[in-house]
Amino acid sequence: MAEINMAREIAKVLTQYSTEVETDLRNAKKEVGQKAVQELRTAGNFDDRTGSYRKGWRLRKVGNNYVVYNETDYQLTHLLEFGHVLRNGGRSKAYPHIKPVEQIVINDFEAIVRKELS
């Protein structure tokens, strides 16, 4: 009669499961990152005269994570999001466009992970 080593079998099943979970998380990160880039390219109601700021949004893989950033006009992200002091006094209008996309990305990532793990 064949002898079954319960600990070895449990470890094998857990290894398979963790590999599947890692793959699902990797796919979810990339999918949500790509969606964030698309959303940021259309977000905000400010005047982008040349289109450079909107076209500059990129997704980069750093280690096991993905980073969404603006490659062309990174200096404008904070100024547009929060407004800034003007040269002749007063403040410019803030155009919050990153924070709403961040919330969408968080909710989408949670939903995808819950769906994949259930």
Q: What is the pTM for the complete model shown?
A: 0.82
Quote the distance between the C-alpha of residue 18 and its chain's center: 22
For 2-10, what is the mean pLDDT? 78
Contact 109, 33 (CB under 8 A): no
- Band of the pLDDT at 84, cuts 50, 70, 90? very high
pLDDT higher than threshold 90 for residue 13:
no
Residue 3's pLDDT is 66
| Tokens 């803030």 sit on residue | 94
Which tens digits make up the pLDDT trace of 26-37?
A: 999 999 999 999
Query: In angstroms, rounded to a whole number, what is the distance separating the alpha carbons of residues 93 and 57?
Result: 22
